[in-house]
């Protein structure tokens, strides 16, 4: 029987004259190869599918952009030729018969005049900031309950699907802001945390390396007056940033827009917001390395939380600069009316550009006027020019926003106006640092703190202005002097 089987297997076939046992062996080998090929294809497809769902293509360089828009500025001069800065400060210092009472601290604002009462249908009127409880409870992390992993060494890495779920697939109803840089959506994470998701537009082109460096730098920044960047999404050509959600509008809305129907900010609330913004900028300019120049300081980028704390936002135009460095650019980025003249005219960028923009915001909060308003008479279109004209004409008391129910004291108004004038000085070298601006706004003893007067002597302030400031100090120090502000 065995010999019969061997003879049959050894017999030739019609397929190329191959023996049966050889043909059977070839068929088995081909079957094994097909099985292995199908298995390999399945594993490869499965791996690619998982990568598309939850990881970053390692070699893809998508086109992204951090730019908002390019503005071509035919910048009208903001210098009132009739009045120099020293003359304006002198007029402020020497105005007559002003109320010398000091403005009260913010904690003395009316406890019950808060936005919550307005939202619940309370009477309209001036809105004061909420006085926080002395027994604060530390809030849990907004990322609590989410998977703990990160791709860039900070924050949380979100998948595209995570953010689609959070924003109802980026529904139009979820849009809370948009511009040339991107679209911002209101979202809610799976742990219930409300967030703002900024979907970066990729129509202008931006290398992925620069994107990652910028995001890493801002992601490590922590300050109570900066909107916190919680995480990011880098998937395919998508680039998204996830920020904490600030639910009380922005300064522009409170001064000119949608939040006005809830009431008008009191002077104390405005100063609290501005001091918080000044502290945030001082931190970016002076406390970290490389320093961060925001480049787009304006009222709409100053968010306000439920206790009227400022939250500086939107770092889409931010520039990282080394210590003592400036940057020259041929593309002026920012918002017309807030851009410093030297930056608009020559492209010279440093932290003093932010100081100028902050000065414009300060004037905006004091007066309730837009930086540029073509609906006003020609002499009042530009806020900075108009303010200098009013101060030069000894009419500084008339510049206060008429919507402020309780007017600030004369000394508080002078202090704010002097600070703003120094911030918008046409000579960038004479503008104060933001840490000095913070002290100027917080001081209640003199219009300008002594240390800042010493600094101004070093930076070349005219002798007459120094004498004016010194005379004001002497009168304030002298117990026999009049209580009136000179």
Q: Collapsing DSSP states into helix, strand and coil, what is residue 176? A: strand
Nearest-5° Cα angle at 302, 197 to 426: 130
Q: 462-470: which pairs have CB atoms within 8 A and are 24 or more residues apart?
A: 462/86, 464/86, 464/90, 465/86, 465/89, 465/90, 468/89, 468/90, 468/93, 468/94, 469/93
Q: What are phi and psi of 5, to 5 degrees?
A: -65, -40
The answer, yes or no, to whether residue 412 has pLDDT greater than 70, is: yes
Q: 390-399: which pairs have CB atoms within 8 A and are 24 or more residues apart?
A: 391/83, 391/88, 391/91, 391/92, 391/417, 391/421, 392/80, 392/82, 392/83, 392/87, 392/88, 392/91, 394/91, 394/95, 396/91, 396/92, 396/95, 397/95, 397/98, 399/366, 399/367
Residue 279 assigned ligand-binding role: no
The answer, yes or no, to whether residue 469 has pLDDT greater than 90, is: no
The answer, yes or no, to whether residue 301 has pLDDT greater than 70, is: yes
Nearest-5° Cα angle at 86, 84 to 87: 65
b/e string for 341-378 if b means 16 or more Cβ within 10 A?
bbbbeeebbbbbbbbbbbbbbbbbbbbbbbbbeeeeee
What would the two tokens of residue 278 be? 């000044």
| CA 273/CA 265 separation, integer angstroms | 10
Q: Collapsing DSSP states into helix, strand and coil, what is residue 292? A: strand
- Does this model's pTM top 0.75? My answer is no
Q: Read off the pLDDT of residues 6-56 as tens digits, 9 standing for 90 and up.
A: 777 777 777 777 777 788 888 899 989 999 989 888 888 877 766 555 443
Q: What is the largest CA-CA distance in the chain?
A: 136
pLDDT of res. 474? 41
Left (φ > 0), alpha (ψ -120 to 50) or beta: where does 218 sit? alpha
**Average of pLDDT values for 139-150?**
57
DSSP 191-256: TS-EEEEEEE--SS---HHHHHHHHHHHHT---TTB--EEEEEEETTEEEEEEE---S-BHHHHHT
Could you give the residue numbers annotated as active site? 296
Residues paired with residue 127 on neighbouring β-strands, in sequence order: 265
Cβ contact 151:143 at 8 Å? no
In which band, very low, low, confident or very high, does the pLDDT at 448 lie, cut at 50, 70 and 90?
A: low
**Average of pLDDT values for 213-226?**
77
Q: Read off the pLDDT of residues 329-354 as tens digits, 9 standing for 90 and up.
A: 646 677 888 999 988 888 788 899 99
Domains and CATH numbers, the chain: 85-134+249-477 (1.10.510.10), 156-244 (3.30.200.20)
Any alpha helices (H) in 131-201, and if so which ranges?
A: 160-166
């Amino acid at each position: 029987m065995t010999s019969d089987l061997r003879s049959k297997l050894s017999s030739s076939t019609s397929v190329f004259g191959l023996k049966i046992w050889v043909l059977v062996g070839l068929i088995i080998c081909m079957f094994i190869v097909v099985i292995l090929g199908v298995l390999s294809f399945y594993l490869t497809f499965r791996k690619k599918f998982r990568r598309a769902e939850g990881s970053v293509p390692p070699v893809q360089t998508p086109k992204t952009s951090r730019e908002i828009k390019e503005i071509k500025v035919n910048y009208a001069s903001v210098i009132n030729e009739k009045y120099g800065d020293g003359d304006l400060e002198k007029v402020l210092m020497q105005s007559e018969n002003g109320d010398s009472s000091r403005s009260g601290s913010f904690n003395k604002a009316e406890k019950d005049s808060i936005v919550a009462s307005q939202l619940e249908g309370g009477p309209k009127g001036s809105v004061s900031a909420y006085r926080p409880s002395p027994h604060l409870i530390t809030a849990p992390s907004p990322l609590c309950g989410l998977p703990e992993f990160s791709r860039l060494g900070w924050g949380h890495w979100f998948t595209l699907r995570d953010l689609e779920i959070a924003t109802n697939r980026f529904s139009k109803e979820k849009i809370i802001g948009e511009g040339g840089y991107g679209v911002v959506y209101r979202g809610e994470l799976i742990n219930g945390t409300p967030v703002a998701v900024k979907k970066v537009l990729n129509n202008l082109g931006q290398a992925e390396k620069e994107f990652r460096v910028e995001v890493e730098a801002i992601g490590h920044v922590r300050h109570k007056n900066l909107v916190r960047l919680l995480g990011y999404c880098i998937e395919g050509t998508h680039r998204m940033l996830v920020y904490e959600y600030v639910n009380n509008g922005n300064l522009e809305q409170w001064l000119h827009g949608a939040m006005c129907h809830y009431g008008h900010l009191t002077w104390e609330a405005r100063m609290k917001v501005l001091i918080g913004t000044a502290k945030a900028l001082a931190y970016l300019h002076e406390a970290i390395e490389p320093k961060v120049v925001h480049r787009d300081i304006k009222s709409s980028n100053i968010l306000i939380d439920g206790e009227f704390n400022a939250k500086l936002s939107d770092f889409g135009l931010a520039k990282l600069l080394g210590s003592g460095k400036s940057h020259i650019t041929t593309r002026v980025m920012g918002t017309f009316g807030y851009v410093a003249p030297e930056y608009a005219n020559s492209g010279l960028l440093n932290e003093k550009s932010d100081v100028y923009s902050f000065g414009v915001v300060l004037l905006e909060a004091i007066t309730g006027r837009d930086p540029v308003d073509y609906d006003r008479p020609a002499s009042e279109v530009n806020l900075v020019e108009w303010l200098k004209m009013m101060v030069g004409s000894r009419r500084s008391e008339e510049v206060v926003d008429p919507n402020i129910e309780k007017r600030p004291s004369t000394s508080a108004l002078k202090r704010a106006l002097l600070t703003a004038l120094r911030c918008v000085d046409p000579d960038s070298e004479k503008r104060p640092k933001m840490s000095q601006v913070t002290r100027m706004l917080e001081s209640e003893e003199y219009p300008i703190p002594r240390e800042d007067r010493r600094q101004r002597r070093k930076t070349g302030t005219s002798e007459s202005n120094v004498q004016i400031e010194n005379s004001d100090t002497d009168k304030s120090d002298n117990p026999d002097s009049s209580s009136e502000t000179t």
